[in-house]
């Protein structure tokens, strides 16, 4: 029958303690690596970045009506997380049903962070942008051209 000191004798064998230290050290290193990898994965956004620097795009917030600034802030934060704002802002779409479907599709993307309320806010902003803001900017360019001022690059004078 083994005595209580027998397990200690086995550890006292040459190299046994070093092997045990190696196993413990390896296990601790693995746990630390797993914790660090998990923390990094949780900190990363759900969508891959499209550039290394923050985007300086969108609309001058001072041009957005006060009652739509919160909607614009939500649109800017949620949409720029995964793609350029030029994607929705550069389109010529004014149809509310289309924007609702489009934003809902984006909302279902993993880790988009877009709630239903955020989606409604984004649609409100996009409708204002395409139906009012862009038309006003185009109208201003047309008025300037008609008054003899040059239009945007690539536009004809008449």
Instruction: Write the CATH number for 87.
Output: 1.10.760
What percent of the chain stands above pLDDT 70? 61
Residues 21, 92 share a domain:
no
Residues 107, 137 share a domain:
yes
Instruction: Classify residue 99: in a domain, yes or no.
Output: yes
pTM of the complete model beyond 0.85: no
Of the listed ranges 2-11, 83-92, 130-139, the least confidently predicted one is 2-11
Residues near 36 by Cβ (< 8 Å), separated by ≥ 6? Answer: none
Residues 69, 140 share a domain:
yes
Instruction: Classify residue 153: in a domain, yes or no.
Output: no
- Domain extent for 114: 61-146
Residues 37, 77 share a domain:
no
Give the DSSP letter of residue 110: T
Q: Per residue in 102-145, pLDDT tens?
A: 999 999 988 889 999 999 999 999 999 999 998 886 554 444 33
Residues 142, 66 share a domain:
yes
The candidate with the shortest Cα–Cα distance to 77, out of 34, 39, 115, is 115
Q: What is the mean pLDDT of the chain?
A: 74
What number of CA atoms fall less than 13 Å from residue 53's CA on the CB side?
A: 3
- pLDDT for 142 equals 43
């Amino acid at each position: 029958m083994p005595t209580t000191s027998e397990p200690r004798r086995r550890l006292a064998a040459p190299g046994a303690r070093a092997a045990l230290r190696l196993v413990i050290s390896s296990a601790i290193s693995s746990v630390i690596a797993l914790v660090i990898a998990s923390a990094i994965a949780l900190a990363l956004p759900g969508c891959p970045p499209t550039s290394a620097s923050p985007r300086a795009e969108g609309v001058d917030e001072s041009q957005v009506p006060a009652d739509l600034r919160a909607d614009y802030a939500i649109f800017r934060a949620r949409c720029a997380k995964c793609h350029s704002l030029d994607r929705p802002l550069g389109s010529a779409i004014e149809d509310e049903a289309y924007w609702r479907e489009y934003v809902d599709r984006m909302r279902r993307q993993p880790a988009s962070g877009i709630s239903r309320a955020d989606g409604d806010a984004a649609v409100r902003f996009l409708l204002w942008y395409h139906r009012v803001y862009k038309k006003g900017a185009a109208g201003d360019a047309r008025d300037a051209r008609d008054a003899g001022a040059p239009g945007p690059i690539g536009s004809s004078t008449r």
